[in-house]
Structures are given as structure tokens and as C-alpha cells.
Structure 1
Amino acid sequence: MSIDFNLFMNDVVRQARQEIVAAGYQELKSAEEVDEALAQKGTTLVMVNSVCGCAGGIARPAAAHALHYDKRPNHLVTVFAGQDKEATERARSYFTGFPPSSPSFALLKDGKICEMIERHDIEGFGPMDVVQKLQNAFEKHCDEL
């Protein structure tokens, strides 16, 4: 019995997309959608999604659970590294001073980066550790909703 790797990966990608969208994040698939989303006033959390094994499996649950907090971003968006390349590249152009990293989180205020949680801040940590990092960023930069 052989496994069709492409079929398997498509299923993994579909599941990773669904997980983050179900948490309330808007998927951005083009550079134009990224520009529109990041032009919005207020705070925006960008989750750079990834199928990368352990780090992605930590980041997605953290992205969902971090939102159970009094202060949180006005807007939640996601791009998918390795899948929606144009959107991911454009989003990363807003993360000045930070190298490409996936999965990762960028918190922007009025389109300007104010916090970045990179892969090295996720990999090797538990989901609740990452939730704490996100909520610390929310506490500093977001208003109560």
C-alpha cells in the first residue's frame, strides 16, 4: 500500500487552513488582500501559518486560545507560508527588521509592526507558553473589546 504524498499534503494544508479560519482569522491569499487588511486602523494580528510539524501544531492552537482575553487585536488575519506565496511575501514586507519565519505572529498597529513572535519563540514551547506571549503583546498594544 502506497501513500500519495501530494494528496496527503493537500489534506494537511486544508486542515491547517480550516483550523485557523475556524478560530476567527481571515485568510489572505493575494498581495492586494494583505495591503487592504493591513491598511485598517487599529491592531491587526497576522498569523503566518505553516504545515511545519511541531511548531505549526503549537502555533495554531495558541492562535485560537490567545483570543480568550480582555484585550485583543481589532483584526485577525492569516497568510499561509509555502502555499499563498504572494500574500506571505507581501505580509512579510510589513515585518521590517525581522527575517522570514514560519509559523509566526506579527502584531501591527495602524500597519506598523509593534511585536513579532517568531518560530524560535514557538518551537520547543507549549501552546500555553505561546498564548502567554501573545496575550502579553495584546496587553501592551490592544484595547479592551
Structure 2
Amino acid sequence: MYPSDLVLPMKAELINKGFEDLTTSESVVQAVNRDGTTLLVINSVCGCAAGAARPGVLESLNGSKRPDHLITSFAGYDTEAVAEARKLLAPFPPSSPAVALFKDGELVHMLERHHIEGNPAQAIAANLQAAYDEYC
């Protein structure tokens, strides 16, 4: 498990922008199964999370459409919550970072690490905005 002094500033990037920080399996299940659209970010310490995932996710929220709910858990830190989230992301294999959009509890859009790594934040934002246009 990563140390708190390393993780907490990275968690704060999303939490300070309105993301609900989920740390238990129950909180993940309840949050994902709410009515409407829910954006789940599995946060990570890796460079692609810092350089593309978090900035891209935040930029994606500036458009005319956005998810009703924003939630996040941190891989290697919120182990119980991330394990539960990964069950809900099946059939996709475990990935961190990862970004998923749910609509009424159903997974409708997924960005795995290989979609994030090597892409600029603007590409991540554009991908997510297209999903919001379709599902939100």
C-alpha cells in the first residue's frame, strides 16, 4: 500500500473538484447504482494518471454535458473499494488508472490504462466528452 503522504495530494486533485472519495466496497456499490450517470475514476500514482488521466477527466467536465455523479478510489491505497470497483468493471481486466461511465448502474463507457497512457489530457477529455454527449 502506498503511503498517505504520497497519495493524499493526488486524491485531492479530484476530491477538491467535487469527486466523492470512496474507500469501502459498500460505498462503491451504492454510488455506482444511483440513478443517472456516474463517472468513476480509479486513480493511480503513475505518470499517466498525473499527466493525462486526472487532467483529462477534469477538463472533460467543462463541457455542456457532464455526469450526475463523480466518484473516485485510489489503486494501491483504497484496496477494498478498488477491488469492488474492478468487479463492476468486468469484463475489463484490472487497470489503473481507469475511467468508467455508468448509467443507471450499467457500465456504458470505459477507458483503460492503455487508452490513457501515451495520450495527452486533451484526448482523454475529448473521449469522455463524446461519451457524455451520448449518455448524459
Instruction: Identify the TM-score tier after normalising by the shorter chain.
Output: over 0.9
RMSD of aligned alpha carbons: 1.2
- Runs of 4 or more above 3 Å deviation: none
Are 2:57 and 1:63 aligned?
yes
Moved more, 106-115 or 9-18: 9-18
Q: How many residues align?
A: 134
In percent, how many aligned pairs have the same letter?
A: 42
1:11 shift after superposition = 2.6
Q: Which amino acid aligns with 2:101?
A: L
Q: Which amino acid aligns with 1:116?
A: M
2:74 and 2:120 mapped to 1: Cα distance? Answer: 21
- Corresponding residue of 1:131: 125
Task: Give the secondary-structure state (helix, strand or coil) at the position aligned to 2:83.
Answer: helix
1:35 shift after superposition = 1.2
- Corresponding residue of 1:51: 45
- TM-score, reference length from structure 2: 0.94
Unaligned runs of 5+ in 2: none
Q: Is the 8 A contact 1:23 1:63 kept in 2?
A: no
Task: Give the secondary-structure state (helix, strand or coil) at the position aligned to 1:121.
Answer: helix
Task: Give the secondary-structure state (helix, strand or coil) at the position aligned to 1:68.
Answer: coil
- Corresponding residue of 2:24: 30
Are 2:41 and 1:40 aligned?
no
Matches within 5 A, 1:34-113: 34-52=28-46, 54-57=47-50, 58-113=52-107
Q: Deviations over 1:84-108 (max 9, x none)?
A: 1110011111112100110010101
Task: Give the secondary-structure state (helix, strand or coil) at the position aligned to 2:96.
Answer: coil
Task: Give the secondary-structure state (helix, strand or coil) at the position aligned to 1:35.
Answer: helix
Unaligned runs of 5+ in 1: 1-5
Larger gyration radius, structure 1 or structure 2: 1
Residue in structure 2 matching 1:11, options 2, 5, 23: 5
Question: Which structure is richer in relative contact order (CA contacts within 8 A, separation 6 or more)?
Answer: 2
1:44 shift after superposition = 0.4
1:64 shift after superposition = 1.1
- Corresponding residue of 1:3: none
